[in-house]
Structures are given as structure tokens and as C-alpha cells.
Structure 1
Amino acid sequence: MNYTIKASSILNEDAVIHIKKSHIDFGTTSMSAEILPNPAEIFLGAFSACMLKNVERFSTMMKFSYTKATVDVNATRLENPPRMDHLEYNLTIYSSDDKLNLDLLKKNIEKFGTIYNTVKLSCTISGTINKI
């Protein structure tokens, strides 16, 4: 499986990622630092998207239902060289389904998540999954 995206920027303006029919603006200037996501936040967004996609995927495979899922991600960045050192997540599944096995869901996300496994090669990850 291969993926292709495009991104573009204009001098002294912000940038955009072009993926299929989506356009994701992100900040490259100091003027947008408080408004648009920066590249590190886009990276964390991809990590979160991977987790949420896998909740959807495994809900079918594990035969559980849910109404909503949310994930909060915090990251620690080191300076020299600049890199993410540790990610911590809290995934919340809104479900009243007794078939939802949180331990198995966590194991599956950690084993089969493409972005999760890519990130795991370069920094530590810890997290929890809760059901509400």
C-alpha cells in the first residue's frame, strides 16, 4: 500500500496539505501560531486519527457498538536534536456495550495501528482506554 499527498506554501504565508479532496491549513508563520496547527500538532493529529480509525475498524471485528470516541494526546518534545520523546494518550469510548473488551481493543490498536507502530519506533508511547 502506498500513500501520496501534496503540500504547498507561499513565502510569508501559511501552508496547506492537499489530501484527496481535503485541504488542511497549517501554520508556518509567527502570525498564525495561535490560530493554525503547526507541523508537530499535525503529527499528533495523524496519531489520533490512526487510533480513531482503528476503534471503528475493531468495533466491527470485535462486534461492539459505541456512539462516540475521543482521544486526547500530549507529547513531550526534546530540543537537541528536536524530536518527540514521549506521547501519552487517553482514549475514551462512549459505549454501553458489555462486549467491549478494553484490554483487547488496546492490544489491537497497539499491534495493528500503522501510525502508532511508526511512532513507536522513534519515541515511547503510553496511554489508557476508558469506557463511559
Structure 2
Amino acid sequence: MSQNKVKMTFHIESVRIDENGSLARCKNAEIPLDTNLAGNPNAFNPAELLLAALSACMIKGIERVVPILKFNLRGVDVIIDGVRQDVPPKLESVRYEIIVDTDESDHRLDLLHENVKKYGTVFNTVAPGTDLKGTLRRR
């Protein structure tokens, strides 16, 4: 007899504030959005928001597996660079570097990186349509 798993769902509401920007709301959080055609240096534009979501996915994935792997870690930094093509508009490539502050072995770092790539929701959403490549290294 198979069990039906409840799927995780997400709900975001965004509202245009004015021609300079918008605001996204989820749970008790708000994120200002750069929806101004001229740009807004005080908010993430949609592509930057996607890349920020990717970096958060990587860090959350690491947080999820650290206790399972009994991985000793003091901190994590993620650096992401994306390249946008004009026609059709899309992120054609994304390069990332995950920097882990740890004394774990290279083998354990590779295992951590494999978990990030295999189990990340946003990672696995972005990867099929984008040239997504990166490294995980020790600080």
C-alpha cells in the first residue's frame, strides 16, 4: 500500500508600490523588488532575486545535510555570477563558488557538494535550462 506524500507548497504575493519598485511578501517577511526599468540599486532585480534564491538553496541544503553527515562546519559563503543573453532573454550561464569554513577532508567536501547538487529544489529547477557550474572549496 503506497502512502500519499503531502507536497510542499509556496505562496508569495507581490505588489507594485510605484514606478520605482515593488514589494514581495511571504509569511512575515518582505523583500523590496527592483521593477523599475531604469534599475533600483536598493533592491534585487528579478534575475538577482533568482540568483539569491539559488544561493539560499545551496546554504539551506548544506544546513540540511550537516547533521546527517556529522559534518563539522564553521561557516559558508556562496558567490554567484550570472550572464544574461538578450534574445531570447534568459540567464545563459551561472557560475558559483561555495566556500566552506571547515577542517573536513576533500572527500567530505565532495560529498557535501554532491548533496547540494542532488537535493536542492532551486538548484534542480535552474540547472536544466541554464549552463550551471561551480565549485565547493575549503576556506
Structure 1 counterpart of 2:46 = 39
> CA-atom RMSD, angstroms?
1.7
Q: Structure 1: 5+ residue runs without aligned partners?
A: none
Q: Structure 2: 5+ residue runs without aligned partners?
A: 1-7
Query: Matched residue pairs, number?
Result: 132
Secondary structure in 1 matching 2:129: coil
Do the aligned partners of residues 95 and 29 (structure 1) sit closer, same or farther apart at CA in structure 2, a change above 3 Å counting? same
* Cα contact 2:20–2:40 (8 A) shared by 1: no
* Cα contact 1:75–1:87 (8 A) shared by 2: yes
Q: Give how far 1:127 is off.
A: 0.4
CA distance in 1 between counterparts of 2:74 and 2:107 reads 12
Which deviates more from structure 2 when the two are superposed, residues 72-81 or residues 25-34?
25-34
CA distance in 2 between counterparts of 1:22 and 1:121 reads 29
* Cα contact 1:14–1:29 (8 A) shared by 2: yes
* Cα contact 2:76–2:100 (8 A) shared by 1: yes
Structure 2 counterpart of 1:11 = 18
The equivalences for 1:49-88 within 5 A come to 49-88=56-95
Q: Give how far 1:99 is off.
A: 8.9
Give the alignment's TM-score, normalised by structure 2: 0.88
> What are the Cα deviations for residues 12-49 of structure 1, in whole angstroms up to 9, with x where unaligned?
23111101111000111256522221111001000000
Structure 1 counterpart of 2:128 = 121
Give the alignment's TM-score, normalised by structure 1: 0.92
CA distance in 2 between counterparts of 1:58 and 1:108 reads 7
* Cα contact 1:63–1:99 (8 A) shared by 2: no
Matched-pair identity in %: 30
Q: Give how far 1:96 is off.
A: 2.4
